[in-house]
Amino acid sequence: MLVPIEWLNDYIDIKDIDTKEFCDRMILSGSDLETCEYFCEEMENVLVGRIEKIEKHPDADKLVVCQINVGQEEPVQIVTGAPNVFEGALVPVAMHKSRIPGPLHGKAKEEGGTKITKGKLRGVTSYGMLCSAEELGFEDKVVPVAHRDGIWILEEEYEPGADFAEALGLKQAVVDFDITPNRPDCLAMVGMAREAAATFDRTFTYPDTDLEEAGEGQASDFVSVEIKNPENCKRYVARVVTDVKIQQSPWWLQKRLMYAGMRPINNIVDITNFVMLEYGQPIHAFDIRQIKDSKIIVENASLGEVFTTLDETERKLTPEMLMIKDAERSVAIAGVMGGLNSEIEEDTTTIVIESANFNGDSVRATSRKLALRTEASGRFEKGIDPNLCEAAADRVCKLIEMLGAGKVCKGRVDIYPNPESAKTIDIRVDRINKVLGIEISREEMVKYLTNLEIKVEGEGNIMTVTPPTIRQDLVAEEDYIEEVARLYGYDKLPVTLPKGNCESGMSYERSLRDLTRETLCGMGLNEIQTYSFVSPRGVDKVRIDEDSWERSFVVLTNPLGEENSVMRTILTPNMMEVLARNYTRNIDSVMAFELGNTFMESMMGPDQLPDEQYSLCIGMYGKDADFFTLKGIVEELLTILGIEDYKFTAESEYGVYHPGRCARISIKSTKDLLVWGHEVDEIGIMGEVHPDVAENYGMDGVRIYCCEIMFDTVVRHANTDIVYKPLPKYPSTSRDIALLVEEDVQVGDIIDVIKAEDDTILEDVQLFDVYRGKQVEEGKKSVAFTLTYRHKDKTLTDEDVAEVHNKVLDALKEKINAVLREM
C-alpha cells in the first residue's frame, strides 16, 4: 500500500513529524513497511519553461531548436527530438549544470541522479534538456497517457523560471506499507489515517461527502437494481451523474494517483480510482446509454457465456461467476472488471456509479479461474466492509461536483438486504494486563481503543467494546489485547522469564540419531541433507525392480516439477545425485551420509498420513572407499548403538549393486522384538554400486560404495546402556591356524563353525590373512585365523587348550572340509 505523506495530510495533520520518525513509530504500532521512497530528491536546477519559438534544426530532420523562456532576460536555447512540443507549451527544463532523478531515455538509472550539461547536437548548442516524466523519476506505469511518449507538457499555468519540483510539489515521501491479511481496512488512505491518528494520539477527519445534488431527478428515475444472488452481493449502491464532461483531471488529483502508483486516465476514471485508494472500496462507472432498460441485475453468468472485458479480451465464463447484467446481457464481471460494451466514452453524458460489495471468495474464485487479477478483485478478495458503499459512492459524487465534471442526481439506489453491524463484546481490563504482563489503567486502555474509533462502554473491569464495522478483524478479547499492546508499545512491555520450571529432554529416537551423526562424523563422513520430495525416475536410475516396494510413492498433487513430484521411499538415489554432483565438480574423494525421513503409504490406506521412517544412507567414492571400509563403518556404528548380533549375507539379486559385492545386513531378533515371527530383522543392504547405476549418474567406471539402513528398525534393537564387564584375571593364550578351503567357502561361515564348537574358553576369532596363489591349488584359498582362549577362573594349560582346539579343527574338517595347513 503506497501512502504519499502529502496525501495523508489531507486527513491528519502530521506535517510536523519527520518522515523517518513517522515510519519508525508506525512500524512499532503495527504498520510494517517495505520502503520509504523520497521522490525528486535528486532534482536540481530544473525550471518551468515556456517554449517561445520552435525552429527546424539545420542539419537534422528529427530535431528541433527551441527558444525557451525560463524567467531570465534571454531565452534559453534547447535542442530536442520530442515530437509533442509546441510553441506556448509549459515544460520542465533541465538547465545547464542540473540534475534529474530519472535515467536518460534507454539508459540505466544512476545513483544520485543524472547530471545534465550543455552540449552540441549536430552542431547546434543545447543549453540543457527538456524532460519527460520518466526522466524526472516517475515510473512509466504512472505517467499520464497524454505525455507518455514525449516531454511533460503542463496543463495548468505556472510562472516560467519557477523551480519545477517546487511549483508542482514533487518533492515528497511515499511510504510503502506492508499490510498483513487481517487488516484490509489499511489498504486505504482513510485506514492509514486512522492508524496514524492512533499512533500519534491525534484526530483525523473523514473525506468531505457533502453534496449539492444539482442534477435533474432522482437516481432511481434513471436506474433500478436487483440482486439475484444476495449471498455473493451483500450490497449494491448506485448513484447517477448527468451532464458528464470527460476531461483531464487537475494536477493535484493526477499527482495523488501517480504517487500512489496509478496512471491518470481521465477525470471520471481518476475519481473512481482516487476513491478506491481513499476508502478501499472499488468503484465502477457505466455509461447509462449502454444499460438496457435501465436495469442493473446482479446474477450469475449463464452456461457457456462469453464476455469481452474492458481490456478487449474475450473471457469464457462459468455459471458460478457473479455478473452485473442489464435487461439483456452482461455488462461487467462483478468485482473484477467492467465490460467493453458499457465503457465510459468521450461522448458519455450520463453515468451510473456502482459502489457495491461482492463476496471475497466468489471474486477470488472468478479472478483465479479467468487468470484476471485487478486492483478491484484484489481488494474484494481480502474482504470489504459493506457499510463503506454509501460513503464511497457519495465521495465519488462529491469529487465530480468539485471538478465540475457533472451534475449529481438526488439520492441513491441502495439494495442492502441484510445490513451488517459491528459485533459488541465484553473484554476485561485485568485479563489484558495479565496476558501482557503489565499493570495499566482502564483509562489508558480506553484511550488506545477510542483512538482507533472503537466505542467503549461499561465500567470497572468490564469494557463493552464496539469496533467500527471496517475492523472486521476485531471479534474476540485477544484481538483487543493486541490493539492495547501495540498502542502501548511492544517495546515498553517488561522483559521477564516464565516462572515455572521444566526439565528439558528429547526422545530416545532423536538422541540415537544425534549419536549416529556424531559417530559417523567422527569416522570422517560428512553429513548431507537432500529434498524429501524427489523424481520418481530416481528408482529407475538405481535399478530398483519393477514391482518393488520402493516404487510405491506418496505422490504430490501439485508439484513444482517432475523432479520434486513424489516423496522419497529410499535415500540412495539422492545420495547418488550428490556423489555425482561432487564427482563432476572434480572432488576426488567423498565419504558422506544422510539420515532422513522416507515415506510410504500408510497400511491403513491413502486417507491416512503416510508412514515416515528414518533411513540412513552412506555413500563414498575415491581413494579410501572400498567395500570393507564401508562395512567397517557400519559395524562400528552398530556396535556403538549396542547391537552385537548382526550379520552380513551375500546378495546377488539387488539391482543397485554389483552382484558379487553386495550384502544384506540383518540383526538377530530378541524375543520381545519379534516382528511377524521373523527371527532376524533385515536392517539394510550395502555394496559396490552396480556399474550400470554409476553410468546412469555419469560416473562411468567409478567404484562407488553405498549402503541404506532402515534406521528405525536399528533403533528398535539399539541398546546404549553401558554395563562394565570385569577385566580378565587370568592370561589368555592364542593359536594361529591356516586353513585350506574351497574358494566358495565364506569367511563368515568358517567363523560360525569355529564359534559353534565352544562357548567356554574360546574368547575371540580374528581373521588375519587370506591367500591365493603359489602353494595353494587352483580353486582353493588359504584363510588364516588367530583363536584366543581364556578361562575366567584359571590359567589355561596346553592340555586345556588342545582339547578344545582339536575339537574346533575336527569340526572344520568335517563341516566345511577345511584342512589345516602347516604354518
Partner 1 sequence: MQTQLNNILQAAKEQLANAATLAEVNDVRVKYMGKKGEVTQILKGMGKLPPEEKKELGQAANKVRNEIEELINEKMAEVKAAAKEAQFKAEKIDVTEPGKVVKAGVKHPVTLTIEEISKVFMNMGFSIVEGPEVETVFNNFDGLNAGPNHPARDPSDTFYISDDILLRTQTSTVQVRTLQKEEPPIKVIAPGRTFRCDTPDATHSPMFHQLEGLVVDEGITMADLKGTLDSFAKQLFGPETKTKFRPHHFPFTEPSAEMDVSCFKCGGKGCRVCKGSGWIEILGCGMVHPNVLKVGDVDTEKYTGFAFGIGVERVAMLKYGVDDIRLFYENDMRFINQFK
Shortest gap between Cβ of 473 and partner 1 (angstroms)? 9
Shortest gap between Cβ of 441 and partner 1 (angstroms)? 18
Among residues 133 and 590, whose Cβ is nearest to partner 1? Answer: 590
Is position 362 an interface residue for partner 1 (rule: CB under 8 A)? no
Shortest gap between Cβ of 621 and partner 1 (angstroms)? 11
Residues in the interface with partner 1 (CB under 8 A) total: 82
**What is the contact mask toward partner 1 in residues 575 to 614, using x (rule: CB under 8 A)?**
---x--xx--x-x--xxx----x-x------xx-xx-x--
Interface residues for partner 1 in 529-558 (CB under 8 A)? 529-533, 554-558
Interface residues for partner 1 in 175-214 (CB under 8 A)? 180-183
Residue with cell string 564387564: 725
356 sits in which H/E element: strand 351-358
Q: Tell me the three cell numbers of residue 88.
A: 506556448
Among residues 96 and 428, whose Cβ is nearest to partner 1? Answer: 428
Shortest gap between Cβ of 716 and partner 1 (angstroms)? 17
| Contact predicate 706/572, CB 8 Å | yes
Which pairing describes strands 90-100 and 44-57: parallel, antiparallel, or unpaired?
A: antiparallel
CA distances from 649 to 475, 613, 687, 748, 789 (A): 66, 24, 11, 9, 27
Among residues 83 and 489, whose Cβ is nearest to partner 1? Answer: 489
Q: Tell me the three cell numbers of residue 319.
A: 455459471
| Contact predicate 703/688, CB 8 Å | yes
Shortest gap between Cβ of 28 and partner 1 (angstroms)? 6
Among residues 135 and 708, whose Cβ is nearest to partner 1? Answer: 708
Shortest gap between Cβ of 207 and partner 1 (angstroms)? 27
Within 8 A by CB and 6+ apart from 743, the residues are 772, 779, 780, 781
- Residue 705 forms beta bridges with which residues? 620, 688
Among residues 529 and 766, whose Cβ is nearest to partner 1? Answer: 529
Q: Tell me the three cell numbers of residue 765.
A: 576369532
Q: Tell me the three cell numbers of residue 147.
A: 505525455
| Contact predicate 554/601, CB 8 Å | yes
Interface residues for partner 1 in 478-497 (CB under 8 A)? 478-479, 481-482, 485-486, 490-491, 493-497
- Residue 119 forms beta bridges with which residues? 126
Among residues 482 and 758, whose Cβ is nearest to partner 1? Answer: 482
Query: Residue 166, SS3?
Result: helix
Within 8 A by CB and 6+ apart from 677, the residues are none
Among residues 303 and 495, whose Cβ is nearest to partner 1? Answer: 495
Q: What are phi and psi of 191, to 5 degrees?
A: -65, -40
Shortest gap between Cβ of 437 and partner 1 (angstroms)? 3
Is position 360 an interface residue for partner 1 (rule: CB under 8 A)? yes
Q: What are phi and psi of 476, to 5 degrees?
A: -135, 170
Is position 418 an interface residue for partner 1 (rule: CB under 8 A)? no
Which of the ranges 472-480, 537-545, 665-673, 803-811 carries the binding residues for partner 1, by CB under 8 A? 472-480
Among residues 134 and 594, whose Cβ is nearest to partner 1? Answer: 594
Interface residues for partner 1 in 493-532 (CB under 8 A)? 493-507, 510, 514, 517, 520-532
Among residues 2 and 600, whose Cβ is nearest to partner 1? Answer: 600
How far is the C-alpha of 617 from the C-alpha of 595, rounded, in Å? Answer: 7
User: What is the separation of C-alpha 83 from the centre of its chain, rounded to a whole number of angstroms?
Assistant: 45
Among residues 6 and 185, whose Cβ is nearest to partner 1? Answer: 185
**What is the contact mask toward partner 1 in residues 557 to 576, using x (rule: CB under 8 A)?**
xxxx---x--x---------
Among residues 247 and 532, whose Cβ is nearest to partner 1? Answer: 532
Among residues 479 and 626, whose Cβ is nearest to partner 1? Answer: 479
How far is the C-alpha of 427 from the C-alpha of 479, rounded, in Å? Answer: 10
| Contact predicate 222/414, CB 8 Å | no
Q: First-to-last CA distance in the chain?
A: 90
Among residues 30 and 113, whose Cβ is nearest to partner 1? Answer: 30
Side-chain-side CA neighbours of residue 249 (13 Å): 25
Among residues 460 and 498, whose Cβ is nearest to partner 1? Answer: 498
Shortest gap between Cβ of 476 and partner 1 (angstroms)? 7
How far is the C-alpha of 244 from the C-alpha of 115, rounded, in Å? Answer: 45
Which of the ranges 47-55, 475-483, 661-669, 704-712 carries the binding residues for partner 1, by CB under 8 A? 475-483
Shortest gap between Cβ of 123 and partner 1 (angstroms)? 47
| Contact predicate 785/768, CB 8 Å | yes
Shortest gap between Cβ of 363 and partner 1 (angstroms)? 11
Q: Is the dihedral of CA 285, 381, 262, 204 positive or negative?
A: positive
Within 8 A by CB and 6+ apart from 605, the residues are none
**Residue 140 per-residue DSSP state:** G
Shortest gap between Cβ of 620 and partner 1 (angstroms)? 11
Shortest gap between Cβ of 300 and partner 1 (angstroms)? 19
With 0-12 CB in 10 A as exposed, 13-18 as middle and 19+ as buried, what is 409?
buried
Which strands sit side by side in the sheet containing 611-621, from one edge to the other?
Answer: 526-527, 590-600, 611-621, 704-710, 680-689, 657-668, 646-650
Which of the ranges 146-154, 250-258, 357-365, 703-711 carries the binding residues for partner 1, by CB under 8 A? 357-365
Interface residues for partner 1 in 286-325 (CB under 8 A)? none
Is position 129 an interface residue for partner 1 (rule: CB under 8 A)? no
| Contact predicate 190/384, CB 8 Å | no
Shortest gap between Cβ of 239 and partner 1 (angstroms)? 31
**What is the contact mask toward partner 1 in residues 363 to 402, using x (rule: CB under 8 A)?**
-x--------------------------------------
Query: Residue 193, SS3?
Result: helix
363 sits in which H/E element: helix 360-370
Q: Rg of the chain's alpha carbons, rounded to an integer?
A: 42
Shortest gap between Cβ of 428 and partner 1 (angstroms)? 10
Among residues 63 and 365, whose Cβ is nearest to partner 1? Answer: 365
Shortest gap between Cβ of 523 and partner 1 (angstroms)? 7
Shortest gap between Cβ of 30 and partner 1 (angstroms)? 3
Among residues 419 and 559, whose Cβ is nearest to partner 1? Answer: 559
Within 8 A by CB and 6+ apart from 521, the residues are 527
Among residues 418 and 586, whose Cβ is nearest to partner 1? Answer: 586
User: What is the separation of C-alpha 388 from the centre of its chain, rounded to a whole number of angstroms?
Assistant: 32
**What is the contact mask toward partner 1 in residues 757 to 796, using x (rule: CB under 8 A)?**
----------------------------------------
Query: Residue 531, SS3?
Result: coil
Is position 438 an interface residue for partner 1 (rule: CB under 8 A)? yes
**What is the contact mask toward partner 1 in residues 18 to 57, using x (rule: CB under 8 A)?**
---------xxxx-x-------------------------
Shortest gap between Cβ of 524 and partner 1 (angstroms)? 5
Which of the ranges 7-15, 273-281, 462-470, 471-479 carries the binding residues for partner 1, by CB under 8 A? 471-479
Instruction: Return the biggest CA–CA distance within the chain.
Output: 131
How far is the C-alpha of 80 from the C-alpha of 93, rounded, in Å? Answer: 11
Q: Please provide the DSSP assignment of 212-238 as one string.
A: ---SSSBHHHH-EEEES-TTTEEEEEE
Among residues 348 and 377, whose Cβ is nearest to partner 1? Answer: 377
